Amino acid sequence: MSTYGEIKRITTHTLQWMKLNGEKISMLTAYDFSMARILDDAGIDVILVGDSASNVMAGHETTLPITLDQMIYHAQSVVRACKRCLVIVDLPFGSYQGNSKEALNSAIRIMKEAGAHGIKLEGGQEVCESIKRIVGAGVPVMGHLGLTPQSIYKFGTYTVRAREEEEAEMLIQNAIALQEAGCFSVVLEKIPASLGADVASQLKIPVIGIGAGSGVDGQVLVMHDMLGVTKNFSPRFLRRYLNLYEDISNATKAYISDVKSKDFPNEKEQY
Ligand code: KIV
């Protein structure tokens, strides 16, 4: 339970307070109204409308195909559900890499059309000009380093990043650059735990990890993975809290059987 007094609405300042006071930040992805309502009511601190929607909602192999319009649609549904948590929305691939004006326009569309509370984008030094411009317009920005799925064709693989000293050092420099550019937080994905802890201790802003160990300031998971809706994705960092694939499959089979056998609907289930 939070020790931040009576939290009416989580803000970027609440997350900063949590880091300063050693309270870990909980973050999950969501993409629709019904699930976001459950997570918000349960007390999640941050909901990320991740571009992982491209995978888990739309069935694409990578996060690259999802569009800004599609992200806005998901974000609108999530924002309508949330009364307490902070809602951050990913800028999708191709909506910010061109130049800082394009990045600002995309961020503004997400804030205006979806009513989000901030945006997330991937990359280090190369996106700092865009971050400064977006933050300058009053929009909170979360960075994302380590395994950045929008660059999967550059990496060639989803394996752990920054195991080598040179890449680890570059990640630290990029994290500092993101903080200096004005990010309120940074996500670190799939890097050694020791590096995650190192970055979290060097930065003043909260560092949220996914496969970045326990030494960071908070954790994020893709909701479909932690609920066991996806079943063929089992990275080491994933803890499954339910096995919904099995549960939903069994419920569906029971329903089919009840319909076929004319057991459903019964006397009490009709008018
Ligand atoms: O899109 C996403 O779900 C993410 C998380 C993995 C951090 O970026």
| For the chain, domain boundaries | 12-240, 246-271
Nearest atom, ligand 1, residue 120 CA: 8
Is the confidence at residue 2, as pLDDT, over 70?
no
The whole-angstrom separation of Cα 111 and Cα 17 is 24
Cβ-contact 49, 68 below 8 angstroms: no
pLDDT above 60: residue 60:
yes
pLDDT at residue 7, rounded to an integer: 75
Global confidence as pTM = 0.97
d(Cα 72, Cα 158) in Å, to the nearest integer? Answer: 27
DSSP helix/strand/coil, 195: helix
Pocket test for ligand 1, best of 27, 55, 63 (most atoms within 8 A of CB): 63
Average pLDDT over residues 82-94: 98
* Nearest ligand 1 atom to alpha carbon 53: 1
Q: Which atom of ligand 1 lies closest to the CA of 63?
A: 1
> Tell me, what's the pLDDT at 69?
98
Q: pLDDT tens digits for 104-127?
A: 999 999 999 999 999 999 999 999
Q: Is the CB of 222 under 6 A from ligand 1?
A: yes
Residue nearest to atom 1 of ligand 1 (CA): 50
Higher pLDDT, 1 or 14: 14
Place of tokens 């909602």: 57
| Contact (CB, 8 A) for 58 and 89 | no
Which ligand 1 atom is at minimum distance from the Cα of 187?
A: 7
Q: Which two tokens stand for residue 100?
A: 């800082």
Q: Determine if ligand 1 sits within 6 Å of the CB of residue 29.
A: yes
Report pLDDT for 3.
59
Mean pLDDT confidence for 159-168: 97
Domain 12-240 has CATH 3.20.20.60: yes
Q: How confident is the model at residue 70 (pLDDT cuts 50, 70, 90)?
A: very high
Of the listed ranges 7-11, 159-163, 169-173, the one predicted with least confidence:
7-11
Dist. CA 153 → ligand 1 center (Å): 17
- Ligand 1, atom 5, lies closest to the CA of 50
pLDDT of 178 higher than 80: yes
78/35 Cα distance (integer angstroms): 8
Distances (CA, A) of 198 to 150, 204, 256: 25, 12, 53
**CB-ligand 1 contact for 210 (6 Å cutoff):** yes
Residues 6+ apart with CB under 8 A from 179: 186, 203, 204, 205
Res 152 pLDDT > 90: yes
Residue 74 contacts by C-beta under 8 Å, 6 or more apart in sequence? 31, 32, 49, 53, 57
The confidence band for 5, taking pLDDT boundaries of 50, 70 and 90, is low
| Count of Cβ atoms closer than 10 Å to residue 257 Cβ | 11
State which H helix or E strand residue 104 sits in: helix 100-109
Position of tokens 């890449």?
167
Return the closest-CA partner of residue 173 out of 121, 217, 125.
125
Q: Give the number of other Cβ atoms within 10 Å of residue 97's Cβ.
A: 16
How does pLDDT run across 12-28, given as a tens digit for each residue?
999 999 999 999 999 99
Quick one: how far is CA 124 from the chain centroid?
Answer: 18
Distance 115 CA to ligand 1 centre (A): 19
